[in-house]
Amino acid sequence: MRAPTREWLARHSHAHGDFDAAQLAERLRAKGEQVTVVIPAKDEATTVGEVVAGLRRELVEAVPLVSELVVIDSDSTDATAQVAADAGATVHHSAEIAPHLGSHPGKGEALWKSLFVTSGELLVFVDADLTEWGPHFVTGLVGALTADPATLLVKGWYDRVLDVPGRSPSTEGGRVTELVARPVLNLWWPDLAGVVQPLAGEWAARRALMETLTVPTGYGVEIASLIDTYRRLGLGAIAQVDLGARAHRHQRDHDLAVMAAELLAVVHARQHGEPQELDVVADELHQFTRDGGWRTRPVPLVQRPPAVSQSGYEDVDR
């Protein structure tokens, strides 16, 4: 690992225990800054309620660190929206936000649309399918984001617990990270090799940055935001924070392959400067299983332009 990365690790790596929620809340109140937590969710009725309730209890009611606790429901077919609302979140349906701009499926779309219905200067993103986690995820991310005025984006990192029925739990989660994201970052942006979890679903950014980024509508949003921030502002604008351990609902390898294909397209579009169209020969992934034969699945290749450039964004009350 080359010297600049070692220096970055020493100056820009934090631990969640370094920060106290009450102290952060007092400091932000004095500065007039607010924290918005955004939880993108699709068919997560079994877990989203506990995530929302835990954050509301600890960081809205007990300590007023979080001003907005928002769930963006991304075309769920189950009771995700109702469960989240009952637990205390403000719920928006992605397709109904800024309808004049159309709608696409995907996690990145939900995060991009959240910019139109939230007002906090500090944005924290938390996945809805967490089964091992804690409110300290948000405290750590906010702390790291505000520890240095130059920091605009923070990635969480943790032991990725792989808990599959019938197997012993392990920390071998994060398959797409280790097999796709880390290799391509090491090859083309080696300064980012020190980012432990480039695809972490728990991350934070200042609105002033997030509203200027081009956002892939699918799972490419995390790696795209990391690369674009680095290319535009350098390594000094990025930090990371150790959040301990994390477990969530794991996807099958065939499902992860679609994510991997999108990540490769997102990276390809950013190899030579500002993000270009995700221009690939095909937008489908062909897969084979012995019991199911061949199947074709779409790969999300849509990118949203910076929210600040879109009509209606300036009308958000903030």
**Paired tokens of 285:** 């992934």
In a domain, 304, yes or no: no
In a domain, 289, yes or no: no
In a domain, 109, yes or no: yes
Q: How far apart are CA 247 and CA 245, in angstroms?
A: 7
Write the pLDDT tens digit of every residue in 85-104: 999 999 999 999 999 999 99
Write the pLDDT tens digit of every residue in 243-264: 999 986 656 666 778 889 999 9
Nearest to 69 by CA among 36, 96, 110: 36
Specify the pLDDT at position 4. 54
**Length in residues, the chain:** 318
In a domain, 87, yes or no: yes
Place of tokens 């929210």: 307
Provide the CB-side half-sphere exposure for 56 (13 A, CA): 17
Q: How far is CA 235 from CA 143, 150, 181, 216, 299, in A?
A: 18, 10, 17, 21, 30
Q: Does the predicted TM-score (pTM) go above 0.85?
A: yes
Provide the CB-side half-sphere exposure for 132 (13 A, CA): 16
In a domain, 108, yes or no: yes
Residues in the chain with pLDDT values less than 70: 1-4, 162-174, 248-254, 279-282
In a domain, 84, yes or no: yes
**Paired tokens of 245:** 């351990």
- What total of structural domains would you count in the chain? 1
User: Which CATH number characterizes residue 166's domain?
Assistant: 3.90.550.10
- By residue range, what is the domain housing residue 28? 3-251
Q: How far apart are CA 116 and CA 77, in angstroms?
A: 23
Specify the pLDDT at position 191. 94
Q: How far apart are CA 90 and CA 71, in angstroms?
A: 6
In a domain, 317, yes or no: no
Specify the pLDDT at position 168. 42
Q: Which residues pair with 154 in a beta bridge?
A: 204, 239
In a domain, 237, yes or no: yes
Helices and strands per DSSP (H, E), number in the chain: 11, 13
